[in-house]
Structure 1
């Protein structure tokens, strides 16, 4: 009977099961952590995305709007909707918030200039006055399996060219982009320490397993209430919590390129619901037959995708790990 039950598993149903109880458990976790740290409340960076909207709402429900402070941390390459939606969710919950642009920090470190130099030598026709850019990877399931990053040029909303990045340029771009998340975290801790609050993170389980966060950036927080919820579950939480429909419809993104680039285009390289089902299947050791039935993928594609996931997880292990500490005479 157990085998028959396992073969009939509906992964999406399992992911979205008992959301009401999940909400209660996360709220309890938030309260316990704030009390455990002996702090007065929570500071949270509000991006206009689903993760921060869900985290903000749960914090307000558990510890009260008067004990939650929102920070809007835009920069000149952020999508305008990020600030708008972030302000709207704070106002709808009655949360006090403040906008602190991080562009001056990035400009003082020449982040934009260095980024422009890489794009210009990669894309001969690039003109910052007319082009927007994004960093993408080929679709893993339908096109290529090589992990080759490209710069995409967009004009008037249409992709006009793609240029392959050299390995060194790619690594430098990732380093430059990481400064954005680290700058935001510096500001969040400045406010948290002034107010005697904790900094609440918004990393979900999909991101955590894949190492899809910046060490000492969005990963450098005091508590992570969403870290055991796959991205699919975050949307289920958003629906249950009646999060703004515009936020619910917004594709997930780090929002660090001048053209809004989704996580499916760059990091996951496959649709969100496929990625989460594959991750859930690995976590629960589901047989290939069940994964095929749920995802609609062939066994060959599933095995390739699982190797791809394992490779990402293994190469980002250092991001999740605490720094090794040397102890004398041990």
Structure 2
């Protein structure tokens, strides 16, 4: 992996896109995780305006502290980086008073988790609109095109995706090169949508290295029957998520009306 060349390529791509779009720079939601840390650093390296936003909603303290550590480090390194904080906990709590929360608890919890992501997306676009910025997505290749591990119109609602062609392992290589804080590099990946410290692996049932392997096997046309034991289990998990989340990875279906009916 030619890490430095990849970093330069992404930074040049970001700067070119923003310049052609005639905007001032980028807004990035900072979660305390590796993906948002790498994305915000790459945006900062363009020299353009970068607004980092913390958007806690009953957030685990470990996530908050890592996010704040990263923002502080980024502001020391780049004078084009600013930050703000939007505590969305009261907004989220008010939302819950206005909707029906009846139903199976696990389903309600998932719907509310996705609502958190959508409140954050709305906040990012609010600031983007005010300050003529682009919303930079933080999804990596495994999340965006493998298991679809993101919220549709939540963290999936972005203007451009600088790291979406990088596997999670490659994001870590980039993170080390661009000097992401050690606390983030070592932290277990987590979407932070449930107000606790549960990891992505806890939710998915497989680690990112395992999912990267399964994604490669799927691309090669393998099936679950080609494997046994843990490999078969991981491949089955990958395919279950991939199939269930196809609707996130393909264009919105359009009902095409025949010309003779118009």
What's the TM-score bracket when you normalise by the shorter of the two chains?
0.7 to 0.9
1:216 aligns with 2:153: yes
Aligned to 1:231: 168
CA separation in 2, counterparts of 1:196 and 1:221? Answer: 14
CA separation in 2, counterparts of 1:57 and 1:188? Answer: 17
1:193 aligns with 2:193: no
CA separation in 2, counterparts of 1:287 and 1:113? Answer: 42
| Higher-Rg member (1/2) | 1
CA separation in 1, counterparts of 2:143 and 2:67? Answer: 21
CA separation in 2, counterparts of 1:242 and 1:284? Answer: 34
1:110 aligns with 2:99: no
CA separation in 2, counterparts of 1:80 and 1:307? Answer: 34
Aligned to 1:55: 39
With structure 1 as the length reference, what TM-score do the two structures score? 0.70
Call closer, same or farther: CA 1:258–1:86 in 2, change over 3 Å.
closer
1:249 aligns with 2:249: no
**What is the deviation of 1:258?**
3.6
Structure 2, unpaired ranges of 5+? 76-80
CA separation in 1, counterparts of 2:216 and 2:98? Answer: 38
- Give the alignment of 1:137-216 within 5 angstroms: 168-208=104-144, 209-216=146-153
Aligned to 1:96: 82
Answer yes or no: is the 8 Å Cα contact 1:111–1:176 preserved in 2. Answer: no
- Tell me which of 52, 58, 83 is aligned to 2:64: 83
What is the number of residues matched between the two proteins? 252
CA separation in 1, counterparts of 2:189 and 2:198? Answer: 8
1:271 aligns with 2:252: no
Structure 1, unpaired ranges of 5+? 1-16, 119-167, 292-297
With structure 2 as the length reference, what TM-score do the two structures score? 0.87
Q: What secondary structure does 1:109 align onto?
A: helix
- Give the alignment of 1:3-42 within 5 angstroms: 17-42=1-26
- What per-residue deviation string (whole Å, max 9, x for no partner) do you get for residues 16-57 of structure 1? x22222212221221232123221110110111110110011
**What is the deviation of 1:262?**
0.4
CA separation in 1, counterparts of 2:98 and 2:72? Answer: 31
Call closer, same or farther: CA 1:258–1:196 in 2, change over 3 Å.
closer
Answer yes or no: is the 8 Å Cα contact 1:106–1:112 preserved in 2. Answer: no
Q: What secondary structure does 1:96 align onto?
A: strand
1:312 aligns with 2:248: no
Aligned to 2:78: none
- What per-residue deviation string (whole Å, max 9, x for no partner) do you get for residues 196-239 of structure 1? 11100100111111110000000000001111111111111111
CA separation in 1, counterparts of 2:195 and 2:69? Answer: 22
Call closer, same or farther: CA 1:111–1:44 in 2, change over 3 Å.
farther
**What is the deviation of 1:89?**
1.8
Aligned to 2:29: 45
**What is the deviation of 1:112?**
11
